Chains A and B, each alone.
Chain A
Amino acid sequence: MHSFWLRANAILTFSITILAFMCAMASVSDCFNSASPSAQIQITNINWFQKQRNGNEEVSLTMNITADLQSLFTWNTKQVFVFVAAEYRTPKNAVNQVSLWDAIIPAKEQAKFRVQTVNKYRFINQGSNLRGKDLNLTLHWHVMPKAGMMFADKLVIPGYRLPKEYR
């Protein structure tokens, strides 16, 4: 501490150490937030449901997504990434997850939303066994904090069934 630059260096290192500790505490404080998000998804229409030439199936559907994710936001949340995945079992693959729609929510005010959309990404199944298939639409979310740990969780909404015939 005997010279100007030694004192400047001591302040810099100590203040950055404390800053790292503050960020860690901010991340810890996120653990005390009990989130209770809610979501409903309705499939309002199956636009078309076809078999491709190579034997795979493709579905186009219109969804109505209503969600309230405001409780995910804390003071340490930068943004939330949400996506809707269709999940089902086939004899070939025990777990199929097809992403249908996604969004980035940058602020708490935009976390309560209602979207009507055609699937943003193509819903293609490996094989041709989707006719009359039961499937879940799952809302996944990843909470990206300003500092610290990232959280991910999901809400499974079961009870959808694809039509028995191609259209």
Chain B
Amino acid sequence: MQFIKYILLISLFAVFFSCKKENEETIESPAILKNGMLVLNEGLFQLNNASLTWVDFGSGTTNDQFFTQKAGRLLGDTGNEMLRYGNKIYIVVNVSSTIEVLDAITGNSIKQISMQANGNSKQPRSIRFFGSKAFISCFDGFVDVMDTATFQIESRIPVGLNPDQMTISGQYLFVSNSGGLNAPVMDSTISVIDMIAKSELTKIVVGKNPGSIVTDYEGDVYVVTRGNYSTIPSRLNKIDQDEFIVLDSYDFDASKITLMNNRLLILNNNKVMLFNTDTDQLLDDNFINNPTINTLSNMYFRSSSQQIYLFDSKGYTNTGNILKYNVNGDFMSQYHVGLNPNSILIYD
């Protein structure tokens, strides 16, 4: 009898602790993309959780399953960049070592391009377009030239160590050779590629560990050298578009830059600074400083609507936010997206 009582007691206990949670409800992806925002979430290394979020401005809903619903499969590991070129969207997936091509109207998957060479991953980082060619920086020391009609890699242009971010000025492609994987001895050069000849023209020596790089509306190139994260500080540098020489290096820290008209938005220490590219003067070292932003990891400026988008990565391990500001730095709205937001595309 006591034994039975004991069993009953145990069973009650078991029932008490067995509870199930409901799954989050799923939202359908739109057939045609409009009035919304497509977000590439980078995800985290070795978790295969790069993803696309569709933010519907009309209904205010967000859908992190966009890529999976459109392609029927996952995006892969570590999405490093998403850009639209013509009627296609290109997504660079670094650790999976693929380029995903989507239809820019529907978001449907068109092609997955595997980026491997000699039994090793090329680890693509960034992509730029020139005519019918895409130029893809690959961490294994090359910029690949891909035809945007056939998706064939036509040539590999050797550059510096661990090429990273790129920008176009005229017919030239400026490539930051970070050398990040050779720490503490990083690279400190910018490769200049002639996109017509499809070869490296020269290397410009800048500071240590070059990264974020943009072209201003006059064609000059600004690049952030990130230093070694301790004794050598990060700097913003200006490169002459014709002479391929460093014109100036400015005496403040910077981690990322984005062009906004004749201004640079400079990301530094969880805030945004404002820099005038006409006068090369720092206009405001506290242009946007929002204490609710936990980890300001990237920015985007949309010139057609003159709006600034800031990416909050929430310590890189929690799902992030995208915050919208007007050109004066006034907060407008905020969207909750996926893990480590990396790039966005806005649809009217």
Q: Do A and B come from one complex?
A: no
